[in-house]
Amino acid sequence: MSKKADFVKFDKVDKSYDGKVLVVKDLNLDIEEGEFVTMLGPSGSGKTTCLMMLAGFETPTNGEIFLDNNPISNIPPHKRGIGMVFQNYALFPHMTVFENLAFPLKVRKMSQEDIEKKVDKALSMVSLGGFANRMPGQLSGGQQQRVAVARALVFDPAVVLMDEPLGALDKNLRESMQYEIKHIHESIGVTVVYVTHDQGEALTMSNRIAVFNDGKVQQLSSPDKLYEEPVNSFVAEFIGENNTFGGEVSEISNGTCKVKLEKGEIIANPISVKSVGEKTTVSIRPERALINPKDKMDNNQKGKIEEVIYHGDHTRVRLNLLGNSEFILKVPNSSQNLDIKLGNEINIGWNSHDARALDPK
Amino acid sequence: MSSETGKILTTDGIPLEESLKQAEKKNKIKAFLLVAPLLLFLIITYMIPIGDMFSRSIDDKMVTNMLPKTYKAMENWDGKELPSEEVFEAFYLDYKILVKNKTAGKLQTQLNYEKNGFKSVLKKLARKQKKFEEGNYKEQIMKVHKRWRNVEYWRAIKRRAPSYTYSKYLKGVDMYSNEDGKIVQVSEDRRIHRILWIRTVEVAFFVTLFCFLMAYPIAHLLATLPMKYSNLLMICVLLPFWTSLLVRTASWMILLQQQGIVNDFFVWTGLVADDNRPEMMYNKTGTYVAMTQILLPFMVLPLYSVMKTISPSLMRAGKSLGATPAVAFFKVYFPLTIPGIGAGCLLVFILAIGYYITPALVGGASGTLISNQIAYHMKSTLDWSFASAMGLMLLTGVLAIYWIYNKLVGVDNIKLG
């Protein structure tokens, strides 16, 4: 079975609520069949609006959305066959779990026998086999969430949308639900479009992540690429932790560039700078900078320790480095790093490849 | 140790239960004192009047007190044949006192209710009894009027012996207890109360229905519109609430009368001819229109408070699961508003069933309700016991509706806001 690369397609979609501000600007997004795509971004970045347009609760101001090559802007939500999991579950409180799950099947006029079979299957998929006759109010938050997921899947929709479904759960439950949803996705192969503002959630669950900001997709790529190779400073800042230096390109050559800072100079990897004199923000992940590196690294600087915070498995060290007093290091807790003490001067090294010169902030 | 008694002790050795009681006592007294004024108020203004109403409605001591000796003598009378000399004598003595005190008229009226034609018989006796000689009163009384030989009249007196009666309640449903003590309906041309009861229930039902039909969309709008619009709409709903009931009813009179604004408008649009203006007031139409408008907020508010709590994502969920908007509404939204519908309908129905001012002003002859009849007996005929009886029947009806509602929907499901 060949998978369609543009099963869901946003084509030049704009959306404005008031005719003055565009919440979504020129959105182009292709989602492959069976893929798990997450829309990630801060609140107000337009990700939920995109989801609502796909579900049919909002209409695009301009552009078109295609589902399996059919334009769907003029199809009402109930005819789109898209399952949806809502932020606060949106289970029908006056129906039992069974009736909740049977609802989409009943409106499709399935026979009672088929309904029972499908509901049973869906409930066992989310391991809630014995809960069919409970009312939603009698279930815990995590169980309600599972019912909501089962309900969105029970009628075999082509696409399932999830709008911050785990937002109301506590941390442990949220993590176990992440794995559960991921496994369900893997086992039935449905296309999932997931919206969240939690980057950890996005990184664990998705095949690809679309990072939204200011109504635009900033980067669409796999979780590892997103983390390792952010294409602009917003993505670098938003995903994971990040040390930044603002400066000006003073020299650029084959794959490396020199960036002149207020105090000193560093060698960096030119990602979005082209020529000398451009302003840039250099981004380095905390775990890529090492203390007293054994291997030779092309950046070596001295920094003064300003704060040490113990985190159990690792220690976070805040340094004053090249005029940046917010430079963070993550040091694994082992006996090697005994000279990490407040006020000490230490040597820090990193490879120019890991120091990405991006657009200025 | 405490294991023998099975009681748990506190660290100081006092049984835990006692200690808890001691600790809670102060709070309980405080709580009681806080509600005490309201309790007192309710007892004085609600429980006592209802009790008084009830005793008034069944009170029938008047005749009993006027003929004490007669009723004592009648105790052994079986009512089949004419009573003995003893009863005649007792009646003569009682009646003599009444005539002397000039209260015989009341007895004549009361006994005439029981048996038509009693009044003239008693009046004649009042005149003749002055010349009675001592002894053999049976002969003397029977000589005054031949009807004294008729056992029916004595039975009529005996029927009024008990100090309590339910005859007012029977009268409320157009029935009475006849000479033989059987409960029968009054003749057809005099059955006015039953018509009023049916009309009252009918008006209350339709007013509730109209209120529901109009309030549901309003409440839905109120619950879903953005704040700045919904506040304005809420003021529009509540504005009539803040206006005097009389003013509102009077304004309906201005609007609905035959030369009124609504009729003028109909004529202007050519809907009706100028010489054929419909009567919209002093009949049921007027009662319906005015009462629906006046009671509307009582339906809107409970509905609104319930709809406010229904998450809009539920309707969306319904649609995303494949239900058409109509199906999503009836399967998802509507069932969730039932507590509000129940509360609103109960409130409006109960208010409507006892409504007085509006039907009195705009109802005319065909639009008056049972409460107007009660007021009529309170103010005009001064038959307070009958008014009380009908008031209590109304109250019982309301309680019955409440009970049925509780059985069907469950009072716990009511949400008044």
Verify that A226 and A245 share a domain, yes or no.
no
The residues in A 50-69 lying below 8 A from B, measured between CB atoms, are 55-57
CA-nearest of A262, A277, A270 to A321 is A262
What distance in Å separates the CA atoms of residue B404 and residue B417, rounded to the nearest whole number?
A: 22
Q: Please tell me whether residues A260 and A179 are part of one structural domain.
A: no
Residue A205 shares a structural domain with residue A299:
no
| A312 found inside a domain | yes
What Cα–Cα distance (Å) separates residue A83 from each residue in A107, A158, A187, A341, B152?
14, 8, 17, 54, 85
Under 8 Å between Cβ of B320 and A82: yes
Please tell me whether residues A135 and A251 are part of one structural domain: no
Question: Average pLDDT of B382-389?
Answer: 87
The share of chain B scoring above pLDDT 90, in percent, equals 23
B279, B385: one domain: yes
Phi and psi at residue A191, to the nearest 5°: -75, 130
CA distance A357 to A252: 11
Per-residue pLDDT tens for B14-59?
888 888 888 889 889 999 999 999 999 999 999 999 999 889 888 8
Taking the C-alpha atoms of residue B165 and residue B153, their distance in angstroms, rounded to an integer, is 19
Cα–Cα distances (Å) from B330 to B300, B323, B346, in that order, read 19, 10, 21
- The larger pLDDT score, comparing residue A291 to residue B417, is at A291
Contacts of A55 in chain B (CB under 8 A): 316, 320
Mutual orientation of helices B104-114 and B151-159 as an angle, nearest 10°?
A: 110
Domain of A131: which CATH number? 3.40.50.300
Is there a single domain that holds both residue B153 and residue B271? no
Whole-number Å distance between alpha carbons of B59 and B399: 23
In sequence order, what are the residues at sequence separation of 6 or more whose Cβ sits closer than 8 angstroms to the Cβ of residue A145? A85, A89, A165, A166, A168, A169, A177
ipTM: 0.79
Q: Which of A203, A233, A263 is the last residue of a domain?
A: A233
Query: Average pLDDT in the B139-165 region?
Result: 85
Residues B51 and B17 in one domain: yes
A76: chain B residues, CB-CB within 8 Å: 319, 325
Give the count of domains, chain B.
Answer: 3
Asked if A47 and A41 count as a contact pair (C-beta separation under 8 A), the reply is yes
Cβ separation of A77 and B323 shorter than 8 Å?
Answer: no
Q: Is the per-residue pLDDT at B417 higher than 70?
A: no
Q: Are residues B327 and A151, on separate chains, in Cβ contact within 8 Å? A: no
A84 in any annotated domain: yes
Q: Would you say residue B5 has pLDDT above 60?
A: no
The helix, strand and coil proportions of chain A, stated in percent and rounded to the nearest 5, come to 25, 35, 35
Q: How far apart are CA B150 and CA B24, in angstroms?
A: 73
Within 105-124 of A, beta carbons closer than 8 Å to B belong to: 107-108
- Kindly state whether residues B311 and B215 are assigned to the same domain: yes
Of A195, A211, A233, the residue that ends a domain is A233
Chain A residues closer than 8 Å to B317 by CB: 84, 86, 90-92
Structure tokens at B245: 């009931």
Residue B187 within a domain = no
Q: Is the pLDDT of residue B179 over 70?
A: no
Residues of chain B with Cβ-Cβ distance to A91 below 8 Å are 317
My answer on whether A226 and A92 are in the same domain is yes
Please state the rounded mean pLDDT for residues B163-190: 82
Q: Tell me: do B105 and B211 sit in the same domain.
A: no
At how many degrees (to 10) do helices B118-128 and B137-144 cross? Answer: 120
Our measurement of the distance from residue A252's CA atom to the centroid of its chain's CA atoms, rounded to an integer in Å, reads 33
3-class DSSP state for residue A27? strand
Residues B115 and B13 in one domain: no
- B311 vs A contacts (CB less than 8 Å): 88, 90
Q: State residue A103's pLDDT score.
A: 93
Do B83 and B35 share a domain, yes or no? no
Residues A205 and A247 in one domain: no
- Considering the domain architecture, whether residues B47 and B65 belong to the same structural domain is answered as no
CA dihedral A224, A227, A231, A233 (to 10 degrees): 170
How confident is the model over B202-246, as pLDDT tens digits? 999 999 999 999 999 999 999 988 888 889 988 988 888 888 888
Domain assignment present for B182: no
| Same domain as B336, residue B357 | yes
Diameter over CA atoms, chain A: 75
Judge if A190 and A256 occupy the same domain. no
CA distance B92 to B89: 5
Q: Is residue A3 part of a domain?
A: no
Number of independent structural domains in chain A: 2
- Res. B329: pLDDT tops 90: yes
Q: Domain check: are A175 and A90 in the same one?
A: yes
Q: How many CB pairs under 8 A join A and B?
A: 66
Q: With beta carbons less than 8 A apart as the criterion, state whether A307 and A282 touch.
A: no
Of B142, B163, B184, the domain-final residue: B163
Which residue reads 């005054």 in tokens?
A: B144
Q: Which of A233, A254, A279 is the last residue of a domain?
A: A233
State how far residue B209 is from chain A, nearest Cα, in angstroms: 24
Question: Mean pLDDT per segment of 10 residues, for chain A of length 361 residues?
Answer: 78 87 87 90 86 90 89 89 89 92 92 91 87 90 89 90 85 86 88 89 89 88 88 86 85 82 82 81 85 79 85 84 83 70 82 83 72
Calculate the average pLDDT of chain B. Answer: 86
* DSSP codes joined into one string, B135-200: S-HHHHHHHH-GGGG-HHHHHHHHHT-SSB--HHHHHHTTEEE-TTS-EEEPPGGG--HHHHHHHH
A76 contacts B319? CB cut-off 8 A: yes
Same domain? For B89 and B68 the reply is yes
Backbone φ and ψ for B164, nearest 5 degrees, come out as -125, 150
Partner-chain residue, chosen from A55, A78, A84, that has the shortest CB–CB distance to B323? A78
10 Å Cβ neighbour count for B60?
17
Residues 160-219 of A with CB under 8 A from B: 161
Q: Both A191 and A48 in a single domain? A: yes
Integer Cα distance of A267 and A242 in angstroms: 17
A165 lies in the same domain as A277: no
Question: What is the distance between the alpha carbons of residues A231 and A235, in angstroms, rounded to a whole number?
Answer: 7
Helix H or strand E segment including B129: none
Cα of A101 to nearest chain B Cα, Å: 10
Q: Are both A223 and A328 inside the same structural domain?
A: no
B214-225 residue pLDDT tens: 999 999 999 988
* Residues A83, A157 contacting (CB under 8 angstroms): yes
Q: Which residues contact A102 (CB under 8 A, 6 or more apart)?
A: A115, A119
Asked if residue A1 belongs to a domain, the reply is no
Using an 8 Å CB-CB cutoff, list residues of chain B that contact chain A. Answer: 311, 313-314, 316-325, 327-328, 331-332, 335-336
Nearest CA in chain A to B336: A94
Q: Mind listing the pLDDT tens digit for each residue in B358-380?
A: 888 888 877 788 888 899 888 88
Residue A183 included in any domain: yes
Residue A57: closest C-alpha in chain B: B316
Closest chain B residue by Cα to residue A161? B320
List the CATH number of the domain containing A324. 2.40.50.100
The CATH number for B312's domain is 1.10.3720.10
DSSP codes joined into one string, B306-319: HHHTS-HHHHHHHH
**A92, B324: Cβ pair inside 8 Å?**
no
Q: Which residues of B241-277 are buried (b: 16+ CB within 10 A; e: fewer)?
A: eeeeeeebbeebbebbbeebebbeebbeeeeeeeeeb
Q: Which domain holds residue A344?
A: 241-358
Segment holding B385, helix H or strand E: helix B384-408
**The last residue of a domain, from among B59, B80, B105:** B59
Using the 8-state DSSP alphabet, how is residue A272 labeled?
A: S
Q: Are B84 and B77 in contact (CB under 8 A)?
A: yes
In a domain? residue B177: no
Does A16 share its domain with A163?
A: yes
Please state, in angstroms and as integers, the Cα–Cα distance from residue A123 to each residue in A119, A361, B55, B407, following that order.
Answer: 6, 48, 64, 35
Tell me, what's the pLDDT at B415? 60
Residue A203 to residues A197, A198, A240, Cα–Cα distance (Å): 11, 9, 10
Q: Domain for residue B230, yes or no? A: yes
Classify residue A91: in a domain, yes or no. yes
Structural domain boundaries, residue B65: 61-163
* Pair B217, B327 in one domain: yes
Q: How far is it, in rounded angstroms, from Cα A270 to Cα A254?
A: 9
From A78's Cα to the closest Cα of chain B, the distance in A is 4
Of B59, B77, B102, the residue at which a domain comes to its end is B59
In a domain, B275, yes or no: yes
Is A351 domain-assigned? yes
Same domain, yes or no, for B27 and B65? no
Q: With beta carbons under 8 A apart, name residues in chain A contacting B336.
A: 93-94
Report the pLDDT value the prediction gives residue B333, as an integer from 0 to 100: 93
